[in-house]
Amino acid sequence: MAATLIELCGLISTSVAKVDARCKDLSTEYPDLNNPANSEDSESLLQDGAIAAATSIAIAAAAQLIASMQYPARSIMDASYGYVVATALGVIAESSTAEIIREAGPQGCHINDIAKKNGMDPMKIARLLRPLATNHIFREVSPNVFAHNRISSLVDTGKSFEAIQAAPEDKYMGAGGHAALILLNDDETFKGAAYIQDVVLDKVSEASDDELNTPLNRAFGTHTDLFSWYEKPENRKRFKRFGYAMDVSRRLSPTGAILKGFKWSDIPENSLIVDVGGGIGSLSLEIAQANPHLRFLIQDKAAVIQEGTQYWNTELPGALASGRVTFGEHDFFGPQSVKNADIFLLRFIVHDWSDTYSHKILQHLRDAAQTTTKLIVVEHLAPLACEEDPAFKHIPGAVPDSYPPKPLLPNLGIVNMAPYNVDIQMMSLLRGCERTFPHYWDLLKKAGWEIEAVHRPLGSLVSQIVAKPI
């Protein structure tokens, strides 16, 4: 055991030294945790190849060192109390406490002054902010006075508290930070997650393969799919927030990550990309801005299209008016009417649904595909906690070329928790899941598609699975 602890410490020390040396080469400094003013440009330093690799090793080793050295009962109890930080974060985001603290300035804001604005009980504000500060989200600069740090600033939309109060439904329109996604996680997902145990241990309902038997359905007493539920009048605020949360999820990967895998620039002039279930079209927007020679059709429900039209008119004026970008109402469980697509693009669609329903989506696209059509599935690829199956080594990008140094886990442990986090989110909201590569291989093949490559852009949380018709 002692040898393992020393190895882990060595990995941390060596990795930090590499980060420091690289920062000196770039004549810059690593972002300061206590500085809330770090811009996205300064955070982009973490996407530098050498820094990203060394940082991942250091984080994985530090987490494994804690797991190795901490009293096991403490570790398991800390895990069972995971809801504490999530709960606190959700309330702070929803109450616009982050904006109030930012407006108070770097000296911080007393809980009484926060309460005067948002109407909360000041002691409850402290009880929520203090566990966050203990987890390095916010700072308690003096008794009951809290200020932002580099992490908590991502809860802030950048808008004034007064503007949010005047138009609460538009809180996330044009907002900075990650509040929309935080609230998706800490509102409907969190409330649904409380019922996971009830659902997955109910053998009768599990055996029924009822797509509407989800923890969310039980939590909110409904028997409709998530997206129809969002369209109910009482969920208008959640519906609008969901669209912006998807935009935030795209921004979790480095800017231009979608452009650094599949070679969009190599596609011939006027090629048509059909973004199936594309929401407001945030991913297509990123591709379109860098590739003015391509055409786009974004397909989704009518209610989403209305939001998407407003989004594009703001972000890329003229694209809709010129006809280069269009929206079309479409149910992807029905036949695909577009028969001349050069690319069908699916981002965070397949993971929403069970294999049975995902097969329907993929089969309809295969039926509409030309022999030259490509399918690009942008999703998390859930890594195993052991080494991957070498049987897929012949497919570029399917299997890692190398693994991290021992004694680290082959999947880098906590560094790669994102796919598993989203997987449990899918279990909460829908009947979908995050899939391993072998799972995707089987799923696509049964629907008439063969995976020919996987792109994993540096720093991106998601992979691009490229398939061709069989």
Read off the pLDDT of residues 95-141 as tens digits, 9 standing for 90 and up: 999 999 999 999 999 999 999 999 999 999 999 999 999 999 999 99
Q: Is 351 a catalytic residue?
A: yes
- Whether the per-residue pLDDT at 1 is higher than 70: the answer is no
Q: How far is Cα 275 from Cα 278, in angstroms, rounded to an integer?
A: 5
Across the beta sheet with 325-329, the strand order is 325-329, 295-300, 272-276, 343-347, 374-379, 463-469, 449-455
Q: Which residue, chain included where needed, has tokens 């007393």?
A: 110
User: Which residue has tokens 């600033």?
Assistant: 153
Cα separations in angstroms, 383 against 156, 389, 437, 450, 453: 32, 11, 8, 20, 16
Total residues belonging to the chain? 470
Domain 82-164 fold is: Arc Repressor Mutant, subunit A (1.10.10)
Q: Which residues of 305-338 are buried (b: 16+ CB within 10 A; e: fewer)?
A: bebbbebbeebbeebbeeebbebeebebeeebeb
How far is Cα of residue 433 from the mean position of the Cα atoms in its chain?
Answer: 14
For residues 399 and 411, give the distance between their C-alpha atoms in angstroms, rounded to a whole number.
12
Which of 110, 351, 380, 455 does the annotation list as catalytic?
A: 351
- The per-residue pLDDT for range 314-367, each reduced to its tens digit, is 999 999 999 999 999 999 999 999 999 999 999 999 999 999 999 999 999 999
Q: Both tokens of residue 170?
A: 């538009």
- Let me know if the fold of 82-164 is the same as that of 253-469: no
Query: What residue segments make up the domains of the chain, in order of their start?
Result: 2-78, 82-164, 179-248, 253-469
Q: Model-level pTM?
A: 0.90
pLDDT at residue 72 tops 70: yes
Say if CB 382 and CB 461 are below 8 A apart. Answer: no
User: 391: helix, coil or strand?
Assistant: helix
pLDDT of residue 41: 59
Number of H helices, E strands in the chain: 21, 10
- pLDDT of 182 higher than 70: yes
> What is the reported pLDDT for 40?
60
- Does the domain spanning 253-469 belong to CATH 3.40.50.150? yes
The pair phi, psi for residue 141, each rounded to 5°, is: -85, -20
Summarised one tens digit per residue, pLDDT across range 244-303 is 898 888 788 877 889 989 999 999 999 999 999 999 998 999 999 999 999 999 999 898
